[in-house]
Amino acid sequence: MPLIALAIAALVIGFEQLVQVKYGAMGLIGFVALSIGIKAKNTMIGGIGAVILVMLLAQTG
């Protein structure tokens, strides 16, 4: 079980670094806000994070 948790943590950190490299600081802020909103079950913070990420994705498309 700890091996699965370690693998998931490594994937999350890798994804976070990918978002930061590709979308900069705003991408990281959006990702963090989305993950905090999901963990805290706070729809406002999660929604703000999701909107930031969608705006960044729409901008590069």
Q: Mind listing the pLDDT tens digit for each residue in 5-45?
A: 888 888 888 888 887 788 788 888 888 898 899 889 999 99
Average pLDDT over residues 1-7: 83
CA dist 26 and 19 (Å) reads 9
Q: How much is the pTM?
A: 0.70
